A and B are shown apart, each in its own frame.
Chain A
Amino acid sequence: MNDILKSGSCDVAIIGGGPTGISAAITLKKSGVDRIIILEREHEAGGIPRHCGHPPFGIREYGRILSGPAYAKRIAVDSRLQGVEIALQTSVVSIGQGGTLSVLSPNGAVELTAKRVLIATGTRETPRSARFVSGGRPLGIYNTGALQSMVYLKNTIPFKRPVVIGTEIVSFSALFTCKKAGIRPVAMLEENSRPTVRWPLPLAAGFFSVPLHLNSHITEIVGHDRVTGVRFEDGHGTEREIACDGVLFTGKFIPESSLARMGHLDIEPDTGAPVIDQYGRCSDQAYYAAGNIAHRNAKVAGTCWQAGKTAAGWICKDFAGQLT
C-alpha cells in the first residue's frame, strides 16, 4: 500500500486523476506542498481523455496536438516525474467533516485525513433514465462516455446504426468516434432551432453524412431486446419514426458530485454542483472543488488543466494563511 495511505494523513488529497487533479498535484508539488496524493478509482490515471481517441489535446499544456489517450498517458507520466503519488484502483467511499476520507482499495479500507481535499471528480452525461424519455428499455442505449470507452479501451461497439441525441461538442466528438469505429449514425436530433455548438462544427454532421434534424424531440424508444427504432416529433409537429439499433444520449453534463451530496457539503439545487466560494472552497472549508465538477459543463482538458493550477494556487495561499 501507498505510504501516505498507510500513514493515514497527508497535506492534500486529490479525488480524481484526470487533467484537473493531475495539474493541481503537479502545481502543489512544485510549490513545495509535499505530502499529496491523488486517489484514482480506475486502474490508470488520465481521466476522460483516456477514451477520447481524437485530437486536439495538449495544445495549451505541451504546445502540440495529441490524441486523448496520448495526452492522458503524458500527464500521468509527468505527474510521476514530479514525484506525485497516484493511488490507482482506489475509491473514496465517503467524505467526512474536516477532510476525513473513507478510502477503499484492493489492499483494504483505510481512513485518510487530509488538511485539504480537492474534489476533481469531473462530470458525466445525463443518462436516458433521468431525461424521462418514453419507451422501452432495450439494449443499445448509451451515453458518449460509455461508447468511447467501449471503442477506445475495449475495441468493441454497442450498435451499428444509432440515433444521436444532442448537438453539443461531445455530440460531434461522438460522431468522430463512430466514424473511426465503423458505426454509421442514421440521424442526429436537436430539440432547439439551432445546434448547441457554434459554427463550423455542425458542418461535421454533413461531412459524416448524418442527417441533422432541428426542432426535433425524441418521443419514444422502440424495441424489445434491442433498440429497433426511435420516434420523434419534427419541427412541423409531425411524428416520425427512424429505424436504428441504438440511441446515443450525448451531453447535458451533470457534475459528478455524489460524494459531496452523500456527505455533508452544500449542493446547488439547480446545477447539482457543490457550493463553492471565490476560491473554490466548499461549505466545509477543508474541501475544494475544481475542474468540470465546478464548471457545470464539460470543458476541454486544457481548461481543466488550468482550473487545477488555479485551485492549487488557492490551496497554497490557504496553507499560508492568506485566505479569509
Chain B
Amino acid sequence: MDNINEPGVLLADADVAIIGGGVVGCGVARRMALEGASVVLVEKASDILDGASKGNSAILHTGFDAPPGSLEWKCVQDGHAEYLAICKAMNLPVLKTGALVTAWTEEEEERLAAVLKKGLENGVDDLQLLSKAEIDKLEPHLHSSVRAAIRVPGEYVIDPWSAPLAYLLQAVENDGRALFNAEVTGGYFDGSHWLLQTGRGKVQARYVVNCAGLYGDIVDHAALGNSEFVIKPRKGQFVVFDKAAFKLTNSIILPVPSERTKGIVLFPTIFGNMMVGPTAEEQDSRDDASVNKDVLNMLVEKAIEMLPALADIPVTATFAGIRPATERKEYRIIEDPERNWITLGGIRSTGLTSALGLGRHVHTLLNSMGASFEKRKNVVTPTVPNLAEHLPRDCNASGYGEIVCHCEMVTQREIEAVFNGKIPAGSLSGLKRRTRATMGRCQGFYCSARLAELTEEKFEIPLGVGDAHE
C-alpha cells in the first residue's frame, strides 16, 4: 500500500469499481450500470475473458444439480431466466438442446433417483426419467451400454464469449467504462471512498466488487490485507471435434454428477462442433493452461466410449481452462459493509450462467450497504455479432468484403468491426473469441497471413515479428 500515496493519474471516478473482466465482472458491471450506478471495470489483461472465462463448457445451466437453497442455485436460476429474457434483444444465440444425465453403470443408475429428487427440490420440475427405448430414440448414436438417463429440458448451449462481451458492452453504452492493462495492486479506503492503485494509475470508487476470479484472493490481500479463501486452481482440458460430429447428438450428455465436479461432459457447441471435457486437475499455477497429450487421448477415448461414431471424426482443437476453485465447494461471497467491499470468489463452471444472477445479488448487497442508485432510464441495449452456426452469419449479408477465415466463414467486415467497436480486441485470442478466426479445422493454415496483415499494429503481442528480407 506504500505506493498508493504516490502521485498517479486518476483514471476514473465512479460509484462502483468492478475488478476483473471475466464473465462475472461483465455481468456485475452491466447490472449496476442498468441500476443507475456509474461503473468502471478494471482488468489486468489487454482484453476481457483472459482468465477462467476463456475456457468453459458454454452451457446455460438450470441449477438442477446445485446445492438446494444455496446462493449458487439462486444465481444460476436468476441468470438462466435473465439470459433468456435478454438474449434476443442483444442478438445472443441459444441452442435449446436440453441435457441427458446418463447412467452407464448400475451404481450410477441407482444415483439417478437422488438426481431427480434434488432437481425437484431445486424447483426444476420438468426433469424426465427416460426409458432405454426413449434414450435410443432421442440419441440413436449413443453407445448401447447406456442404462438410463434423466432428461433436463432447460439446459442449453450458448456462446460463452459473446455473452459477457454483450454484458460489458451494455455497461459501456450506458456510461460505464472499461480499463485494460490495469492490474489492481493495492487500495485504500478513506471511510467513504476507495482509491485503487492499478498498473496504469488510480481509480476512485465508492464501492468495489472484486470479481478477479483466479486472482480473487490476491486482490483481497492487496486491498483488504486478508482473504477469507484461497484459490486452488483447477485445470480442465477439452477436445473439440470437427463439425461433422455436431449431428451425432441432440443433447448435452452429462455424467451423473459427483460431489466435487460435474464430470466429463460431451456436448454440441453453439459454433457447430462437438466437445468433450473438462478434466479436473488441481495445480498451483493460476495461468498455466497447458494441455497434455495423454489426457487429451483419454478424453477422446472417453468420448468414443459414449459416442462410437466419433472414432471417425477428426479433432479440430484442444485447449484447457482453469477454474478458480477454493478450499470449499460453494461460492465465496464476502461482504465487508464497513469498507464498502464485496468479493465474489470461487465461482467455477456455473459462472457463465450465474453471472447475471450475481449481478442482481450484488445490487441487493450494495443496497443493504446503504448505496442507493436511481434506476437508469432510456437504457441503451447494444447487439453483438452472431457467431452461432445455426443462425445467419455476417457473410450472409452483402458488403462483407472478403472471407478471411474460410473454415469459420469470418469476414473482413467482422474483423474490422472488432477494432472499430467500443471494446476492441486487445489480443489475437480476443479477436478469435469475437470472430472465430483461426478456430476452425485448419487452425490458421490458410488465414494466418491475412490476419497478420489485418491486425498489424493492433496488438501488444503482434503476429508478425519482422519483415521477410530477401
Which positions in A face B, CB cutoff 8 Å? 41, 43, 51, 89, 91, 93, 104, 106-109, 124-125, 127-130, 132-137, 139, 142-143, 145-146, 149-160, 180-182, 220-221, 224-226, 245, 254, 256, 258, 261-262, 267, 269, 272
**Chain A: minimal CB distance from B459 (Å):** 9
Q: Which residues of B contact A261 (CB under 8 A)?
A: 242, 244
**Chain B: minimal CB distance from A322 (Å):** 34
Given contacts A43-B402, A142-B444, A225-B461, contact A180 B470 (CB under 8 A): yes
Given contacts A132-B318, A157-B464, A269-B312, contact A125 B406 (CB under 8 A): no
Q: Is the CB of A124 within 8 A of B452?
A: no
Q: Which 7 A-B pairs have the closest CB atoms?
A: A156-B464, A127-B443, A149-B449, A181-B468, A146-B448, A150-B449, A151-B468
How many angstroms from the CA of A99 to the CA of B442 in the assembled complex?
25
Give the residue name and chain of the A residue nearest to B397 (CB). Answer: A108
Question: B71: CB under 8 A from chain A?
Answer: no
Q: Is the CB of A156 within 8 A of B466?
A: yes
Q: Is the CB of B319 within 8 A of A137?
A: yes
Q: Is the CB of A129 within 8 A of B315?
A: yes
Q: Is the CB of A220 within 8 A of B396?
A: no
Q: Is the CB of A146 within 8 A of B316?
A: no
Q: Which residues of B contact A107 (CB under 8 A)?
A: 398
Q: Which residues of B contact A225 (CB under 8 A)?
A: 461
Q: Is the CB of A134 within 8 A of B316?
A: no
Q: Is the CB of B465 within 8 A of A127?
A: no
How many angstroms from the CA of A106 to the CA of B396 in the assembled complex?
9
Which positions in B face A, CB cutoff 8 Å? 240, 242-244, 287-293, 296-297, 311-312, 314-319, 395-396, 398-403, 406-407, 409, 428, 441-446, 448-450, 452-453, 461, 463-470
How many angstroms from the CA of A152 to the CA of B467 in the assembled complex?
11
**Chain A: minimal CB distance from B207 (Å):** 33
Q: Which residues of A contact B470 (CB under 8 A)?
A: 180-181
Q: Which residues of B contact A272 (CB under 8 A)?
A: 314
How many angstroms from the CA of A41 to the CA of B411 in the assembled complex?
12
Q: Is the CB of B448 within 8 A of A149?
A: yes
CB < 8 Å neighbour of B297 from A132, A145, A180: A132
How many angstroms from the CA of A182 to the CA of B466 in the assembled complex?
10
Given contacts A41-B406, A149-B449, A262-B243, contact A130 B396 (CB under 8 A): no
How many angstroms from the CA of A151 to the CA of B468 in the assembled complex?
6
How many angstroms from the CA of A132 to the CA of B407 in the assembled complex?
20
Q: Which residues of A contact B400 (CB under 8 A)?
A: 106
Q: Which residues of B contact A256 (CB under 8 A)?
A: 442
Q: Is the CB of A158 within 8 A of B452?
A: yes
Q: Is the CB of A262 within 8 A of B288?
A: no
CB < 8 Å neighbour of A157 from B314, B403, B465: B465
Give the residue name and chain of the B residue nearest to A181 (CB). Answer: B468
Given contacts A106-B402, A109-B396, 15 further A-B contacts (CB under 8 A): A89-B403, A93-B409, A107-B398, A128-B443, A130-B316, A132-B296, A132-B318, A137-B289, A139-B463, A157-B467, A160-B466, A181-B470, A182-B469, A258-B242, A267-B312
How many angstroms from the CA of A89 to the CA of B402 in the assembled complex?
7
Q: Is the CB of A146 within 8 A of B445?
A: yes
**Chain B: minimal CB distance from A72 (Å):** 15
Given contacts A106-B400, A139-B428, A157-B467, contact A127 B445 (CB under 8 A): yes
CB < 8 Å neighbour of B317 from A129, A145, A160: A129
Q: Is the CB of B292 within 8 A of A134?
A: yes
Given contacts A135-B290, A136-B288, contact A258 B407 (CB under 8 A): yes
Given contacts A139-B463, A182-B468, A245-B465, contact A106 B401 (CB under 8 A): yes
How many angstroms from the CA of A133 to the CA of B318 in the assembled complex?
10
